[in-house]
Amino acid sequence: MSRFTVTVFCGSSPGFDPVYVEAARAVGTAIGRSGMALVYGGGHVGLMGTVADAALAAGAEVTGIIPRALQAREAVNEDLTELILVDTMHERKMLMADRADAFLALPGGPGTLEELTEQWTWAQLGIHDKPVGLLNVDGYFDPLLSFVANMRDRGFTHPRYTDMLVVATEATEALARLRDYVPPARTEASPGAEMTGAMALPVRP
């Protein structure tokens, strides 16, 4: 029986506050202790390196996927269960998505944000039914969550899709909720068509 596999998106930087490194270590440890497997970006720097090292130390199978162009720049972890070298970022993201049973974003920069929102968008469109979550360490994602609520409140996404996002502040809680996730019921309409037909918003002066 294959292990439940979590693809983790996170920064190649550790951030300024040690709380981010502590959270990444907690996630990696919880993945290993829960009998899960980890897929991540393959680097040995920043939060990426921390989560992978912690997962390996806790007995997890860890797969890193990295473009050859980044292999030297991100100091590839040589102790991984499996290291996959690819040619492009698009290929990297597709493999990370294919191998995942769930996605979890930790604090990170623009790349983390892009990976998180892409998988959330694919879930909305029904390209996959996998859970997408974020670990809101020390309020890091509060501005993003406020923006997501603003999208909903202004009629640009349905509440069922904003409710898709699994938001947690503690590693074991995040992993348990990802494992227990049940996708929402779908309509035949696309998310945009559904919003157009279902919501008539007042005209702003």
Amino acid residing at 92:
R
Q: Using alpha carbons only, what angle is made at residue 183 by residues 144 and 6, rounded to the nearest 5 degrees?
A: 70
Dihedral sign of CA atoms 54, 57, 59, 63 in order: positive
Bridging pattern class, strands 102-105 and 166-168: unpaired
Tokens of residue 1, six digits: 């029986």
Please give the average pLDDT of every successive group of 10 residues along the chain, which has 205 residues: 90 96 98 97 93 97 91 78 93 95 97 96 94 98 97 92 96 97 77 59 43
Q: Tell me what pLDDT residue 189 has.
A: 61
Q: Tell me what pLDDT residue 52 has.
A: 97
Q: How far is CA 15 from the centre of its chain?
A: 18
User: Nearest CA to 6 among 99, 107, 136, 137?
Assistant: 99
Q: Tell me what pLDDT residue 205 has.
A: 39
- Total residue length of the chain: 205
Classify residue 154 by its DSSP letter. Answer: T
CA trace torsion 77, 116, 175, 40 (10° rounding): -10
Q: Tell me what pLDDT residue 203 has.
A: 40
Q: Tell me what pLDDT residue 95 has.
A: 95
Contact 126, 138 (CB under 8 A): no
Contact 127, 148 (CB under 8 A): no
